[in-house]
C-alpha cells in the first residue's frame, strides 16, 4: 500500500466527549460574539474550547459553538423572572415560558483553523438543584446561511473544579442566596452523564486574587456526522427558542 494513502479509522482516535441534556433554557438568538457578558456582575471568566473530530483527531473548523449559562444570581436571560432559588421540575427545551427578551450570557463563535473558540464571560452562579455549569452546543455548518443551520452534532455541559467554585460563590455578587449550590458529585447530570470528563481546567488570571478572574479550557471530541438527540432540528421551531 502507498505510504501516502490514508484510511479512515473504524473507531474514534480521540475520546468522544459525553453529551448532556440541553435543559429548558436553550435559545437561538443568533448572536455571534466573543464577549457575552453584557456587563453582567460577576468574576471574569475567559473560556477557550477546542473542538476536535474524534474520528480523525483533526480540529473541526468553521463549526458554530453556542454557549449559555446563568448569571451570578442563577438567572438565565430570556427567563430572568424565574426564581433561581426554587427548583423547577421540568427540563425539556420549550417547557418553561420565556419571561423576557434579554440576551446576557449567551452567544456563539465559529471555530478557527485550529478548531478553537474563545469567549469572555463571567463565572456562572448556580440555580436550585444544580451544580455550577455552562451549556454548549456545536453545530456543523455548510452552505452560506450559517446562522440558519440546525445540524447540532453535540450538546454538553461544562463543570468547574469545586475549589474554584467555592471561592467564587463566597464573593459578594454570588452570596446571600436562599438556596444552596450542589457539589458536582451531588448533581444528577454530573454523576450520570459523564461530568468528570466534562470538567474544565481552571487557572486564576491574577496572582494576588481570584477576583481578577479565571481562565478555563477544554478539548471537546465530537462526531461531526452525528445528530444530537438533545437539540433536534424541530426544537428550533419552538416559540420559546
- Domain assignments of the chain as residue spans, ordered by start: 44-237
Integer CA distances (angstroms), 38 to 88, 103, 240, in order: 26, 8, 21
Spatial distance between the Cα atoms of 141 and 147, rounded to a whole number of angstroms: 8
Ramachandran angles phi, psi of 165, nearest 5°:
-65, -40
Predicted confidence pLDDT, tens digits, the chain (241 residues): 444 444 445 566 678 999 999 999 999 989 999 999 999 999 999 999 999 999 999 999 999 999 999 999 999 999 999 999 999 988 899 999 999 999 999 999 999 999 999 999 999 999 999 999 999 999 998 766 667 788 999 999 999 999 999 999 999 999 999 999 999 999 999 999 999 999 999 999 987 667 789 999 999 999 999 999 999 999 999 989 9
pTM for the full model? 0.92
What is the pLDDT, as a whole number, of residue 206?
Answer: 84
**Vertex 35 angle, CA 23 and 172, to 5°:** 75
CATH class, domain 44-237, is: mainly beta
Spatial distance between the Cα atoms of 40 and 128, rounded to a whole number of angstroms: 20
Nearest alpha carbon to residue 165 among 139, 186, 136: 186
Integer CA distances (angstroms), 121 to 118, 182, 217, in order: 10, 22, 13
Residue 105 C-alpha cell reads as: 450570557
Amino acid at each position: 500500500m502507498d505510504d501516502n494513502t490514508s484510511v479512515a479509522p473504524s473507531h474514534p482516535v480521540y475520546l468522544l466527549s459525553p453529551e448532556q441534556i440541553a435543559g429548558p433554557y436553550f435559545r437561538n438568538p443568533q448572536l455571534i460574539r466573543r464577549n457575552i457578558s453584557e456587563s453582567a456582575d460577576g468574576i471574569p471568566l475567559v473560556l477557550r474550547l477546542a473542538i476536535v473530530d474524534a474520528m480523525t483527531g483533526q480540529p473541526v473548523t468553521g463549526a458554530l459553538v453556542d454557549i449559555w449559562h446563568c448569571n451570578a444570581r442563577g438567572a438565565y436571560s430570556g427567563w430572568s423572572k424565574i426564581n433561581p432559588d426554587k427548583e423547577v421540575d421540568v427540563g425539556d427545551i420549550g417547557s418553561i415560558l420565556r419571561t423576557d427578551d434579554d440576551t446576557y450570557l449567551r452567544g456563539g463563535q465559529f471555530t478557527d483553523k485550529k478548531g478553537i473558540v474563545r469567549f469572555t464571560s463571567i463565572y456562572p452562579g448556580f440555580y436550585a438543584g444544580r451544580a455550577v455549569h455552562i451549556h454548549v452546543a456545536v453545530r456543523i455548518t455548510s452552505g452560506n446561511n450559517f446562522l440558519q443551520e440546525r445540524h447540532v452534532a453535540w450538546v454538553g455541559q461544562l463543570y468547574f473544579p469545586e475549589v474554584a467554585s467555592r471561592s467564587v460563590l463566597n464573593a459578594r455578587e454570588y452570596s446571600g442566596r436562599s438556596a444552596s449550590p450542589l457539589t458536582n458529585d451531588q448533581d444528577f447530570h454530573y454523576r450520570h452523564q459523564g461530568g468528570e470528563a466534562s470538567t474544565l481546567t481552571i487557572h486564576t488570571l491574577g496572582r494576588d486574587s481570584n477576583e481578577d478572574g479565571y481562565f478555563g479550557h477544554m478539548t471537546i471530541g465530537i462526531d461531526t456526522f452525528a445528530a444530537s438527540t438533545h437539540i433536534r432540528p424541530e426544537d428550533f421551531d419552538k416559540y420559546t427558542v
